[in-house]
Amino acid sequence: MSFAPQRALSPLPWIARILTAVAASLLLHPPAAQSQDSGNEGLIPRGDRPEISITVKDSSGEAIPAPATVKLYREGVPVDQSATSHGRAFFILRTLGSYTVIVDAAGYKTAQKDVAVSMAIKQEVDVVLQASSSPVDGAAVPGKPLLAPKAKEALEKGLKALNENKLAEAEKYVGEAMKLAPGHPDVLFVQGVLYLNQHNWTQAQTVLEKAVQMDPNNARVLAALGMSLTNQGKYQEAITPLEKSLESGAGGWEARWALGKSYYYHEQYEQALKTSQLALTESNGKAPQIELLVAQSLTAVGRYDDSAQALRDFLKNYGDRPEAATARRWLDGLVKNGKVSQK
């Protein structure tokens, strides 16, 4: 016995939540002042804002002399980026939270570091790059391009409009950014997010596939692509980008939730159960409806009593949520089909 497909588990809401979380961080900075080299720290009025000061080093522990591109992400969305000077870059933040720093430099492998910012203080972060080698001639690997000021400004305005749920306005500004920087992976990513918010799953897939081509190891882009495929019911196709996103360690519980759903509808029930249970644990109560996917998977692997208990727990703790009606129907179905006893 398996439950009928239902849409209560759509991963779309995490996109809007992420945009809400990062838009204020993007928009309250003038574009030219969002990031500064550490040598200019004294020129920036900080007040009580949190700060991240980044030093990019090589394997010997010395600051790399070549310019590096430093990107800052918050919950999967690009917040800011800067080029280092003498191995240093500096960011003033608008909000506390979990950030990810990604560094690219010619001749080095891309490096990533997670930073938890819990207090409005200056936080020193060292990122160590390992030299890369070319199998052909040892040529340097170019870093990802910086976003030009006008394109960055248009992208920020688009994010602000998205944050305010003004999709027509967001479309205008993100469209401007696309004209100014059509091949930039960050612009393609936000364009894909806009399409996801508009429920244009096919267009989101097309744009995000281009972003993956430009930035094939970006966990956030891979996660968004996987979710666009999941929302189209292309569960088999969604599995690969979602798995890659999670293998990097930066995909997040939202990507794990979507992967669990894709496993379930691709009839990989054991993987669906394990993945959905991990997603539920990692979400820390942010998405209790994941419990329904856990219940689906438990039923599919024949653990009917455990499924019924999960559904009863959901009804007890979240009986006022819209998904409660689905949980009640599934529980009644288990009892009616003789899989569990009535309690």
pLDDT of residue 65: 77
Task: Place 147 in a pLDDT band, splitting at 50, 70 and 90.
Answer: confident
Q: Over the stretch 54-82, which tens digit does the pLDDT of each residue have? A: 999 888 888 887 788 888 887 666 778 88
Report DSSP letters for 129-159, one per residue. PPBP--SSS-PPPPPPPPPPHHHHHHHHHHH
Instruction: DSSP letter for 85, please.
Output: B
Whether the Cβ atoms of residue 212 and residue 221 lie closer than 8 Å to each other:
yes
Cα four-point dihedral sign 33, 37, 38, 43: negative
**Higher-confidence position of 209 and 114:** 209
Distance CA(255)–CA(215), nearest Å, equals: 18
Distance CA(213)–CA(210), nearest Å, equals: 5
pLDDT of residue 40: 37
Residue type, 216: P
Distance CA(287)–CA(318), nearest Å, equals: 11
Average of pLDDT values for 208-232? 90
pLDDT of 289 strictly over 90: yes
Average of pLDDT values for 86-104? 86
pLDDT of residue 144: 58
Whether the Cβ atoms of residue 259 and residue 246 lie closer than 8 Å to each other:
yes
Q: Over the stretch 191-213, which tens digit does the pLDDT of each residue have? A: 998 998 899 999 999 999 999 98
pLDDT of residue 182: 85
Distance CA(35)–CA(29), nearest Å, equals: 9
Give the CA angle between residues 47, 49, 54 to the nearest 5°: 120
Domains of the chain: 34-128 (2.60.40.10), 149-336 (1.25.40.10)
Percent of the chain with pLDDT over 70: 80
Q: Over the stretch 298-331, which tens digit does the pLDDT of each residue have? A: 999 999 999 999 999 999 999 999 999 999 999 9
Whether the Cβ atoms of residue 324 and residue 10 lie closer than 8 Å to each other:
no
pLDDT of 249 strictly over 80: no
Non-local CB neighbours of 84 within 8 Å, separated by 6+ positions: 37, 54, 56, 64, 67, 68, 70, 105
* Alpha helical stretches, state H, 181-323: 185-197, 201-214, 219-231, 235-247, 252-265, 269-283, 290-300, 304-318
pLDDT of 145 strictly over 60: yes
pLDDT of 141 strictly over 80: no
Which residues is 126 bridged to in the sheet?
A: 55
**Higher-confidence position of 138 and 45:** 45
Whole-number Cα distances in Å, 265 to 108, 196, 230, 293: 40, 21, 10, 11
Task: Place 24 in a pLDDT band, splitting at 50, 70 and 90.
Answer: very low
